[in-house]
Amino acid sequence: MTRTREHRSKPPLRKPEKPFYFNTSEHLLRIGREQAGTLSQLLQALRECPDDSIFQHTLRTLQEHHFIRHGFSNDFAHWSLSACNEPVLAEQLASVDVHEFTTIEGLRQRMIGTVEEFLQQRPLSADRPAHEPFYFCASTIVVLPTPFAPDSLPGFIDGLRRVSVHSIHHHFIEARLRLKRMSNDFSQWIEEEVGAQDAALAIERIDIYTNTMEGVRQRIARITEQLLN
Amino acid sequence: MKSPQSRTATQDRPPGASAGPQLSAAAAGPPEESPAAVASRAPERPLPSSVLTPPAPSPPPHLDDYQNIIGQAQVDALRFLARELKGKTLKMVNSTAVGGGVAEMLNRLVPLISELGVNAHWDVITGGNDFFEVTKAFHNALHGSPYEFTQNAKDIFLMYNEQNRARMQFDEDLVVIHDPQPLALVCARGKSPARWVWRCHIDLSHPHAQLWEFLRPFVEQYDAAIFSSQSFARQLPITQYLFYPSIDPLSEKNKDLDESVVQKVCDEFGIDRSRPIVTQVSRFDRLKDPVGVVQAYKLAKKYVDCQLVLAGGGASDDPEGAAVLQEVKETAGNDPDIIILDLPPWCAIEINAIQRASTLVIQKSLREGFGLTVTEALWKGKPTIAGAVGGIPNQIIHKLTGTLVHSVEGCAFQIRYLLTHPEFAKRIGANGHEHVKENFLITTNVKRWLLLFRVLSEAGPANK
């Protein structure tokens, strides 16, 4: 009985037909036109700013502060507390999980909805001047190859350990916007090329808000190493 | 950035001249002082001979030298980025070859970009004293100081820019003009396909209105402008990029030091490493608020034992600096634990050692450009307390990579808190180091320049 269950949960691994191409993305930061000095201005700017700005202040922030486990997960939340002294809104914005979105538009609408709802409940907060303005920025992204293109699981683990955290972010966080699905490049390759569905799912379930990018790397490495044992 | 005039004055000072470095304890020594206090205070004596003359410059490092710091993956990324730019040409232009932050940065940046296969040059404009007097006034006025902008100033600015334009060649693929002094060189671009970028190192958030209206049409002829902070930028019709200033982790001021070097410097300056050391490194300038630092230390000292080291310069060749130094000494009074060092500008190793020996670092500025002394402290993993002004909030995320303060009292509380919570202090120090590693090292700046070059090259022919 036990043997059968083990057999079902660990199907034989396949030899990958396609290599995993480790890429990385580099970002050039642009200063945007939008600024906000109050929460109502933030709301307006959230509606009008380019997608790149939403990306910058949410997904990119995760990478910029990837070494910190504590603190707010996006710039809007951070500003709501530090400049507007609105801890409730800050917590609500921080709880928006970028993992739930496959489009920037979806993420933008959630941010707008969160601020709108807060201001409906606390209209006096709308036009209270912030201690400092929020400056919207945006990134120009350049995707670069790395020397690592493994076609085996051991090679994948080796590459994973050697690429930069920017590459981890590129394949694990940014990928869902590229793939337009609730997955990431690592899970997709491990499922499609190696045939390890459970491992792919385990990787997808890694919590990016309680791990640093370095922690994400270690977790993925452990999950894939278990496949070899 | 320092003005060309003040830089020149500093450089022109003969090493070891009478206006040179001085070491002074805060206390002048009241007659009733106890023998114990006299014994524990840094003595009134000249600086060690090792710091009286500038050391020979060390050769610039190579890209591979940074591998141990940023990792092979980051070095690889730089090489990949540069691959498509091989053989392309880049010219940086500024107004001085030595002294000041821009020259210091270009000294390191240009060789690294060249090593990556981009044909990079650095040119310096020339001008008479009248030109540099005008551009110094421009510099202050762009920072918001009152200024009477005259036709004569305009004429001098345009005449020297025209002289330099006639003298220089601009055949490169990318031309980068640093700061306002050579701004009008952009008139040379004509119909050439080169890309032109203006790198503005100063805070333009509150410029003198009339002067800005004069300069703005030149800025608008560039393809892009680069600022050091979001808050320094203006609304412009051209793309604006954010390039944080950076430090070189292999420079004398930031490289790792042997413990023996740190100890030797502390011994020479009378700093007791067996007790907590709180340090501010900066010029004796009111905007750095050294008096406020002494006041904060005194408030904190009621609760925690520590020494205060104020290490800086600017008092020997700047009358205002001397006045500020005097105010600091008066505020310090007889406290033997306050050590004030007026160091010459070449004391990079000594500054490095003092920062490394410190328990906490303070940068309690009232106004600031970017605040590279904060970057230096964070790089050394030091828990850092800094004023929430200028570019400092880009470096210090409050309670995560350091602590931000807005008053003497706030600064005093943070000194008390960090000295009594060493685990928290250690954690924010480690975070600060990582933050600098990611964002404020020269290698990150090399990457930004390569990215910008690629982005501008891919944008199609220039259409100005």
Interface of B with A in 77-116 (CB under 8 A): 77, 80-81
Summarize the confidence of residues B125-153 as an average pLDDT.
92
pLDDT value, residue B462: 57
CA pair distance B243, B241, nearest whole angstrom: 6
Q: What is the DSSP string of B135-187?
A: HHHHHHHHTT------HHHHHHHHHHHHHHHHH----SSEEEEESSTTGGGGG
CA pair distance B10, B19, nearest whole angstrom: 10
Touching check for B72 and chain A: CB below 8 Å? yes
- Residue-wise pLDDT tens digits, A16-61: 999 999 999 999 999 999 999 999 999 999 999 999 999 999 988 7
- ipTM higher than the 0.90 cut: no
**Is residue B31 predicted with pLDDT exceeding 50?**
no
- Residue-wise pLDDT tens digits, B205-252: 889 999 999 999 999 999 999 999 998 888 899 999 999 999 999 999
Two structure tokens written together for B215: 């300069």
**DSSP 8-state secondary structure symbol assigned to residue B62:** P
Judge contact between B327 and B291, C-beta under 8 A.
yes
**Which tops the pLDDT comparison, A168 or B30?**
A168
Residue A205's Cβ-count burial label (10 Å; 0-12, 13-18, 19+) is exposed
Average pLDDT value for chain A: 89
CA pair distance B222, B462, nearest whole angstrom: 10
Two structure tokens written together for B96: 């001085």
Q: How confident is the model at residue B318 (pLDDT cuts 50, 70, 90)?
A: low
**Which tops the pLDDT comparison, A182 or B11?**
A182
* Secondary structure element (H or E) that encloses residue B23, with its range: strand B22-25
- Residue-wise pLDDT tens digits, B141-178: 998 889 999 999 999 999 999 999 999 999 999 999 99
Summarize the confidence of residues B313-332 as an average pLDDT.
82
User: Considering all CA atoms of chain B, what is the largest pairwise distance in Å, rounded to the nearest integer?
Assistant: 77
Residue B444 burial (CB count, 10 A):
19
Contacts of A219 (CB under 8 A, 6+ apart): A203, A206, A211
Place of tokens 């709108």: A116
Summarize the confidence of residues B386-398 as an average pLDDT.
91
CA pair distance A147, A144, nearest whole angstrom: 10
pLDDT value, residue B26: 37
CA pair distance A63, A165, nearest whole angstrom: 8
Interface of A with B in 76-115 (CB under 8 A): 78, 82
**Which tops the pLDDT comparison, B390 or B115?**
B115
Length of chain A: 229
Chain A CB contacts of B84 under 8 Å are: none
**Is residue B19 predicted with pLDDT exceeding 50?**
no
Two structure tokens written together for B70: 């940023």
**Is residue B101 predicted with pLDDT exceeding 90?**
no
CA pair distance A119, B304, nearest whole angstrom: 44
Average pLDDT value for chain B: 86
- Residue-wise pLDDT tens digits, A196-228: 999 999 999 998 888 888 889 999 999 999 998
Q: How many CA atoms lie within 13 A of A68 on its CB side?
A: 26
CA pair distance B193, B464, nearest whole angstrom: 9
**Is residue B258 predicted with pLDDT exceeding 60?**
yes
CA pair distance B291, B364, nearest whole angstrom: 10
CA pair distance B355, B281, nearest whole angstrom: 8
Residue A200's Cβ-count burial label (10 Å; 0-12, 13-18, 19+) is buried
Q: How confident is the model at residue A91 (pLDDT cuts 50, 70, 90)?
A: very high
Q: Is B343 helix (H, G, I), strand (E, B) or coil?
A: coil
Per mean pLDDT, which range of A107-111, A182-186, B372-376 is the poorest? Answer: A182-186
Q: Is B43 helix (H, G, I), strand (E, B) or coil?
A: coil
pLDDT value, residue B460: 65
Gap from A45 CA to chain B (nearest CA, Å) = 16
pLDDT value, residue B18: 31
Judge contact between A119 and A126, C-beta under 8 A.
yes
Residue B403: beta bridge partners? Answer: B385
Place of tokens 């413990």: B259
Q: How confident is the model at residue B387 (pLDDT cuts 50, 70, 90)?
A: very high
**Is residue B56 predicted with pLDDT exceeding 80?**
no
pLDDT value, residue B9: 25
Q: Least CA distance to A140: which residue of chain B?
A: B455
**Is residue B47 predicted with pLDDT exceeding 90?**
no
Please judge whether B451 and A28 are an interchain contact, meaning their C-beta atoms are less than 8 angstroms apart. yes
CA pair distance A11, A6, nearest whole angstrom: 9
Touching check for B438 and chain A: CB below 8 Å? yes
Residue A6's Cβ-count burial label (10 Å; 0-12, 13-18, 19+) is exposed
CA pair distance A43, A58, nearest whole angstrom: 15
Residue B278: beta bridge partners? Answer: B308, B360
CA pair distance A130, A36, nearest whole angstrom: 8
Q: How confident is the model at residue B10 (pLDDT cuts 50, 70, 90)?
A: very low
CA pair distance A113, A121, nearest whole angstrom: 12
pTM of the model: 0.84
In chain A, where the domains are located: 26-139, 149-228
Contacts of B101 (CB under 8 A, 6+ apart): B1, B2, B201, B245, B372
pLDDT value, residue A69: 57
Residue B130 burial (CB count, 10 A):
14
Judge contact between A225 and A198, C-beta under 8 A.
no
- What sign results for the dihedral spanned by CA atoms B365, B219, B217, A134? negative
Gap from A28 CA to chain B (nearest CA, Å) = 6
Touching check for B435 and chain A: CB below 8 Å? yes
**DSSP 8-state secondary structure symbol assigned to residue B336:** T
**Is residue B92 predicted with pLDDT exceeding 80?**
yes
Residue B44 burial (CB count, 10 A):
12
Chain A CB contacts of B69 under 8 Å are: none
CA pair distance B311, B26, nearest whole angstrom: 12
Please judge whether A163 and B240 are an interchain contact, meaning their C-beta atoms are less than 8 angstroms apart. no
**Which tops the pLDDT comparison, B385 or A139?**
B385
**DSSP 8-state secondary structure symbol assigned to residue B275:** S
**DSSP 8-state secondary structure symbol assigned to residue B205:** S
* Secondary structure element (H or E) that encloses residue B120, with its range: strand B119-124
pLDDT value, residue B132: 92
Please judge whether A31 and B233 are an interchain contact, meaning their C-beta atoms are less than 8 angstroms apart. yes
Q: How many CA atoms lie within 13 A of A53 on its CB side?
A: 20
Please judge whether A145 and B434 are an interchain contact, meaning their C-beta atoms are less than 8 angstroms apart. no
Touching check for A41 and chain B: CB below 8 Å? no
At B443, the amino acid letter reads T
Summarize the confidence of residues A111-138 as an average pLDDT.
96
Chain A CB contacts of B74 under 8 Å are: 164
**Is residue B367 predicted with pLDDT exceeding 70?**
yes
Q: What is the DSSP string of chain A?
A: -HHHHHHHHSPPPPPPSS----EEEEEEEEEEEEEESSHHHHHHHHHHS-HHHHHIIIIIHHHHTTT-SSS-SSHHHHHHHHTT--HHHHHHHHT--GGG-SSHHHHHHHHHHHHHHHHHH-GGGTTPPPSSPEEEEEEEEEEEE-S---SSHHHHHHHHHHS-HHHHHHHHTTHHHHHTSS--HHHHHIIIII--HHHHHHHHT--TTSS-HHHHHHHHHHHHHHHH-
